[in-house]
Amino acid sequence: MAVTPPAKRIWWNEPIEKVELYWIFIALLWGLFMFFFMIAWHFIGQQNLSTETYRIDPAAYQAKVETFAEGNTVREEDGVPVVRPQSGNDVYLLGRLWQWWPILELERGRSYRFHLSSIDWQHGFSLQPTNINIQVHPGYEHILTLTPTETGEFGIICNEYCGIGHHQMTGRIYVVERPQGAAPAAAGR
């Protein structure tokens, strides 16, 4: 029971007030503006990543990542290889319970093609403190181009619940300056 019941019981037969029509019209215009501006912001805002996605066998992807790590490892941290690829080359990251593997060391100002995939569950690739967030699915290889603009240590966290060790699923990317006197490596695949 309402405290003050309406005079007429069938509310949808009541006429709409003029002020309510104005607000409905304003909300409709705002919704349309936001919809089209999302599309425009993809191109003028330079915030959204354009990615390529391909189907891949998880075991084949794991083999690609292991080959990449073996050929470019410079040291280890806590048993995880730290990989420094040549500037402009492809970079491979593997999501698995419960880590992002391997650790990457990249040069500031150089573009890299990132390949991301999972071999077991859906994971989230969230690069902190930047605003990069991608859902990574097993059986799909996600490819995006990134150019680090700041040096430092960047954390990768999984933001898609992936099981009991989800809170420990992290990874790292180091961005360093190109060594003095070093010529930039040729871009290649």
Query: What are the structural domain ranges in the chain?
Result: 51-176
What does each C-alpha distance from 14 to 1, 8, 23, 134 come to in angstroms?
Answer: 20, 8, 17, 48
What is the per-residue pLDDT for 17?
85
Mean pLDDT of the chain: 85
CATH class for the region spanning 51-176: mainly beta
What is the per-residue pLDDT for 2?
58
Lowest mean per-residue pLDDT among 42-56, 118-132, 175-189:
175-189
